[in-house]
Structure 1
Amino acid sequence: MVNAVRTVLGDVPPEQLGVCDAHDHLFFGSPRLPGQELRSASAARAELAAFRAQGGGAVVQWTPYGLGRRAADLPPLSREAGVHIVAATGLHQDVHYDDATLDGLRGRLAEVFVTELTEGIGTSGVRAGFVKVAGGFHALDAHARRTMTAAAEAHRATGAPIAVHLELGTGALDVLDLLCGELGVPPHRVILGHLNRSPDGVVHRQAAESGCYLAFDGPSRANHATDWRMPDAVRALAEAGFGDRLLLGGDTTTAAARSVDGGPGMPYLLRRVRPRLALAVGEALVTRILTENPGRAFGVEWR
């Protein structure tokens, strides 16, 4: 299919996504967050239902290889909730994995990514729709360079977009230098995440000028002043002509952050962030950011 978003139920035209949470997690588990794993299918189902009740139509899950994606659970959840789900392949920072996992992937990362994009994740048959990788704090270590090199190979083989976790929102320009400069990935196939965590307007603009997508995700984090800074950052980029490059996401990574457990969760993106952002840039642009932009960012002519 030409220019399709690869969801867990198959490829769909980008315009069918509806209102999209462009960065979130239904399932996630890391040794860095002991006791806060997202493992409950019933909680994931309730969270999707709450998101749907606020007008949500699609969720892009950025959970990569080895961090509890539960790919086989995603298709029934998507059907039951009536919400499109896009799954990820890729690899997070090395601190999220034990040595045995990393050793087992050495030398075959690109092969794993391509297989999960084209054949499926494990025995689930669910194909990933993009590659998720991660940078470090103001730097790219050897692990980040290896994973991004593998992601670039997977992109060349499949056309899949590459989404990047920026640690505390930093390192955007280094990531672009590597992925788009050294490795030749077209900028419009790169999505930079967590830019709201480092509200540097100059860097935001320089990144946008490359042609990549900029994701403002993870509102209402206790340790990040994201909510009140984000509207100004989005407005500055929109006024500079980059409104078509922007994405919004919730990035729910712990059980306590879910709305069904008393946190803001996925619904907060539409219940509170959307109207607040509309005051800054207008409802029409916010609607495009939530609907048209994700379709372009994750829509691919699959090879």
Structure 2
Amino acid sequence: MVAAVRTVLGDIAPGELGVCDAHDHLFLRSPMLPGQELDDRESAAERLRAFRALGGRAVVQWTPHGMGRGADALAELSRTTGAHVVAATGLHQAAHYPPELLDRIRDDLAALFVAELTEGIGTTGVRAGLIKVAGAFHTLDAHARLTMTAAAGAHHRTGAPIAVHLELGTAALDVLELLCGELGVPPHRVILGHLGRSPDGAVQREAARAGAFLAFDGPSRANHATDWRLPEELAELAGAGFTGQLLLGGDTTVPETPGMPHLLRRLRPRLEGVLGAEVMETVLVANPARAFAFEAPGA
């Protein structure tokens, strides 16, 4: 199997991905965010067009199964805007789902994830390109262990990358101990999200030394207290030799999030002033091409 990134329009060579928003949402619905749904197709198209106008080429949507990921709209949005879009399978924390949904699917999660990666999401024909799971605050609860075990099983069968929501940026090392230590997922197949929400440099460096990709995503109202630390965090990691493992995303979770355009219009030039254009090219282009590529199972 030749390495490829699985977009909603089909597999592409990793080098075709281009400037990538490595963690975002075009569509999202959760009982934890009542009245703040991302469910408008034209709004999603406007954000994609604005991102493309600023030089963006690809968006990786981390919205997993059962959270209104808009699979029936993603292919058309990709075609009409010219942006590559990667969709997700997987499950978020239990609080984001009605109990009856979890009761219906929990016994065969790995098979569900594999089906959405290889056959398609529902009847849309759109195949997922990554597996999204989530930890708990400073720990891994039973639901996290269940979903991560299923994600590892699906990874071993498909070679798909695994993206992890770290609750408030915590439990990164617990995640790696489970996924990579106990379940045998290669560390470079794991993408740790939200690390900037708990700006602990020692933990970030240890996760980087383990070999995982580190995703820094935002800004948003919820994380404004730590977002401003981003330039110094990335500078420290790059200076320690981990440039090749850094990713950036907008993480649009509610309509008011600055999101995709902000990533390139405001954040990129600020970071280029600190890190240099060459490092930012690596972070926005080369690293996503490796992080989101499928590998032959067992590679």
Range into which the TM-score falls when normalised by the shorter chain: over 0.9
Residue 220 of structure 1: CA displacement? 4.1
Q: Which of 290, 296, 299 matches 2:290?
A: 296
Contact 2:197-2:227 within 8 A present in 1 as well: no
Q: Equivalences for 1:31-50 in 2 at 5 Å? A: 31-50=31-50
**Residue 278 (structure 1) aligns with:** 272
**Residue 227 (structure 2) aligns with:** 227
Residue 283 of structure 1: CA displacement? 1.1
**Residue 14 (structure 1) aligns with:** 14
Contact 1:4-1:302 within 8 A present in 2 as well: no
Deviations along 1:79-116, one digit per CA (max 9) or x if unpaired, are 11100000000000000001100000121000000000
Residue 72 of structure 1: CA displacement? 1.4
- Stretches of structure 2 lacking an aligned partner (at least 5 in a row): none
Letter in 2 for 1:279: G
Letter in 2 for 1:278: E
Contact 1:169-1:195 within 8 A present in 2 as well: yes
1:302 and 1:78, CA in 2 relative to 1: closer, same or farther beyond 3 A? Answer: farther
Partner Cα distance (1:124, 1:302) in 2: 25
Contact 2:218-2:227 within 8 A present in 1 as well: no
TM-score with structure 2 setting the length? 0.97
Contact 1:191-1:215 within 8 A present in 2 as well: yes
Deviations along 1:208-233, one digit per CA (max 9) or x if unpaired, are 00000000001243543233201111
Partner Cα distance (2:36, 2:44) in 1: 14
Contact 1:161-1:191 within 8 A present in 2 as well: yes
Percent identity of equivalent pairs: 68
The reply to whether residue 172 of structure 1 matches residue 172 of structure 2 is yes
**Residue 267 (structure 1) aligns with:** 261
- Stretches of structure 1 lacking an aligned partner (at least 5 in a row): 258-263
Letter in 2 for 1:50: A
Partner Cα distance (1:40, 1:289) in 2: 30
**Residue 260 (structure 1) aligns with:** none
Q: Secondary structure at the match of 2:22?
A: strand
Contact 1:227-1:273 within 8 A present in 2 as well: no
**Residue 29 (structure 1) aligns with:** 29
Partner Cα distance (1:120, 1:182) in 2: 29
Partner Cα distance (2:106, 2:222) in 1: 36
**Residue 135 (structure 2) aligns with:** 135
Contact 1:220-1:226 within 8 A present in 2 as well: no
Partner Cα distance (2:267, 2:289) in 1: 20
Q: Equivalences for 1:250-261 in 2 at 5 Å? A: 250-257=250-257
Residue 255 of structure 1: CA displacement? 1.6
Partner Cα distance (2:109, 2:242) in 1: 33
